[in-house]
Amino acid sequence: MAVDYKERIPNNVSLHEDRRLQRALEEWQPRFLQWWADMGPDGFQARDVYLRTAISVDAQGWAHFDYLRMPEYRWGIFLAEPDPGRTIGFGAHRGQPAWPDVPGEYRGTLRRLIVTQGDTEPASVEQQRQLGRTCPSLYDLRNLFQVNVEEGRHLWAMVYLLHAHFGRDGREEAEALLQRHSGDRDKPRILGAFNEKTPDWLSFFMFTYFTDRDGKYQLASLAESGFDPLSRTCRFMLTEEAHHMFVGEAGLGRIVQRTCEVMRDHRTDDVRRHGAIDLATIQRYLNFHFSVSIDLFGGEISTNAANFYTAGLKGRFEEAKKADDHALAGATYAVSQLDGDRIVTRDVAALPALNERLRDDYIADCQRGVDRWNQTVRKHGIDFELRLPHRGFHRAIGLFSQARVSPDGRVVSQAEWDARQGEWLPTENDKSFVQSLMVPVIERGKFASWIAPPARGINGQAVDFEYVRG
């Protein structure tokens, strides 16, 4: 399915056949570009960046690399190829043909899911707006911008659905997506993690590892949707999302690598003196980003989640691979809960526990990267292990938000929390130390003191390629 690049809005949905829709989106386009100019990467809009652009959605065509100024990136509308015989895979409508249009009874619910998803995309661009100014290398700078333009495209993906399928309400929601802003006192973004700051590159890599990975799991669940345009949109978004998580995993891996090299070469734990980030600080940042990211899955027990599933709107991760009835009416699922000052696991009804099940899949996936970073630590003969904190640690949403839980999963008193939170979460000292390292490195092939170079460059290019020029 080739993408039509002659159109003002590149697309593979035959936009020219629906003039009204095309006009409505063309009216939204300048407002998007204005938002990009006001809220997108600050200071680099005139630079040539070695970017990947989709030119078709099949395996060969979706990764085309060239220099481009970011405002000229061809943000467009790309849906994965249709599967003509697709049926709904779960819930009360299981086995029925997938819906090409929004079923009237689910209109409000679907709109809300799409708006919540759509809201995160521009939010992350806003959060990362200033990072270019302190990039650790041209290679990393280019990766930041690749992530940013694709998040912009993911906003387009959701806005297309709103315009094409939700009439006037959808157009109003599309406007509102440009009016809410990350951290804005009056009009904040919808979900908590998207109102946090991303003030430094350690936070950026944590964000792309942990928060973009929430994106992967939410998009994968929405890719199961009975509403076929949503499913096809999310399937294509997932192909782009993989790169964002790679940026996070490899970025954190390179930071750990550098820290270990300094520890070994200088035979010291005091790596800060040598411009590297100590493992204890990395652990505290990890604790923070993991905890705010697992909040994004919603409450452990959620009737919303049960209703989304039964209605056929949002499935499980890899729904088709689950060997059960895909209706879950009488099924149970084990969920960790608070019982006074203990944490216990209880079997509860599976349907309202679907947020927790998705969170479990996500946590297992997060652990894989942590294991790889720990291999690096071990290879350097260092006695330290990075760990995911307990799921109850530092939660603002769900059952655990009512308690104080330590990273090792003990319910602790407020007094213990107050006394020890400096061991568990980034301190002001950590933040200002990390900030002090954020000095731009823009010489070709050079890297900041706190991060190792990558093993290889982008798209077969050398590590010292001029990824951003001009």
- Nearest approach, Cβ of residue 56 and ligand BYC (Å): 24
Which tokens sit at 351?
Answer: 């349907």
- Nearest approach, Cβ of residue 397 and ligand BYC (Å): 5
127 binds ligand BYC (CB under 6 A): no
Whichever of 79 and 377 has its CB closer to ligand BYC, that residue is 79
Binding marks (x or -) toward ligand BYC, 57..96, rule CB under 6 A? ----------------------------------------
Whichever of 203 and 355 has its CB closer to ligand BYC, that residue is 355
Sign of CA dihedral 136, 205, 38, 21: positive
Question: Around Cβ 326, how many Cβ atoms within 10 Å?
Answer: 19
Give whole-number Cα distances, 233 to 118, 154, 155, in Å.
12, 9, 11
- Nearest approach, Cβ of residue 215 and ligand BYC (Å): 3
296 binds ligand BYC (CB under 6 A): yes
* SS3 per-residue string spanning 364-406: HHHHHHHHHHHHHHHHCCCCCCCCCCCCCCCCCCCHHHHCCEC
214 binds ligand BYC (CB under 6 A): yes
Which tokens sit at 409?
Answer: 């999963």
| Cβ proximity of 107 and 162 under 8 Å | no
228 binds ligand BYC (CB under 6 A): no
Which tokens sit at 383?
Answer: 């006695």
Q: Return d(Cα 236, Cα 414) in angstroms, integer.
A: 45
Angle, CA 292 vertex, CA 291 and CA 294 arms, to 5° = 65
Of the candidate spans 43-51, 97-105, 297-305, 417-425, the one that interacts with ligand BYC by CB under 6 A turns out to be: 297-305
Which tokens sit at 60?
Answer: 């060969």
Binding to ligand BYC, residues 135-164 (CB under 6 A) = 151
Mention every residue, 6+ apart, whose C-beta is less than 8 A from residue 268.
262, 274
Among 12, 22, 120, 233, binds ligand BYC (CB under 6 A): 120
| Cβ proximity of 179 and 188 under 8 Å | no
251 binds ligand BYC (CB under 6 A): no
Instruction: Determine the longest span between alpha carbons in the chain, in angstroms.
Output: 68
- Nearest approach, Cβ of residue 351 and ligand BYC (Å): 11
- Nearest approach, Cβ of residue 305 and ligand BYC (Å): 4
218 binds ligand BYC (CB under 6 A): yes
Q: Return d(Cα 245, Cα 150) in angstroms, integer.
A: 13
Whichever of 335 and 377 has its CB closer to ligand BYC, that residue is 335
Among 210, 297, 373, 393, binds ligand BYC (CB under 6 A): 297
Which tokens sit at 176?
Answer: 């509102």
Whichever of 29 and 304 has its CB closer to ligand BYC, that residue is 304
Binding to ligand BYC, residues 40-59 (CB under 6 A) = none
- Nearest approach, Cβ of residue 450 and ligand BYC (Å): 23
What single-letter DSSP state applies at residue 5? -
| Cβ proximity of 97 and 87 under 8 Å | yes
Strand partners, 2: 56
239 binds ligand BYC (CB under 6 A): no
299 binds ligand BYC (CB under 6 A): yes
Whichever of 258 and 395 has its CB closer to ligand BYC, that residue is 395
Mention every residue, 6+ apart, whose C-beta is less than 8 A from residue 357.
316, 333, 350
Among 295, 356, 360, 430, binds ligand BYC (CB under 6 A): 295
| Ramachandran angles phi, psi of 162, nearest 5° | -65, -45
- Nearest approach, Cβ of residue 109 and ligand BYC (Å): 10
Whichever of 223 and 271 has its CB closer to ligand BYC, that residue is 223
192 binds ligand BYC (CB under 6 A): yes
Mention every residue, 6+ apart, whose C-beta is less than 8 A from residue 330.
none
Binding marks (x or -) toward ligand BYC, 338..377, rule CB under 6 A? -----------------x----------------------
Whichever of 303 and 436 has its CB closer to ligand BYC, that residue is 303
Q: Which of 124, 130, 181 is nearest to 154 (CA)?
A: 124
- Nearest approach, Cβ of residue 29 and ligand BYC (Å): 21
Whichever of 124 and 203 has its CB closer to ligand BYC, that residue is 124
Whichever of 54 and 260 has its CB closer to ligand BYC, that residue is 54
Give whole-number Cα distances, 178 to 123, 181, 430, in Å.
9, 7, 33
Query: What SS3 class is residue 49?
Result: strand
| Cβ proximity of 32 and 155 under 8 Å | yes
220 binds ligand BYC (CB under 6 A): no
Binding to ligand BYC, residues 302-321 (CB under 6 A) = 302, 304-305, 314
What single-letter DSSP state applies at residue 465? S
User: Contact positions toward ligand BYC, by CB under 6 A?
Assistant: 113, 116-117, 120-121, 124, 151, 191-192, 211-212, 214-215, 218, 295-299, 302, 304-305, 314, 355, 397
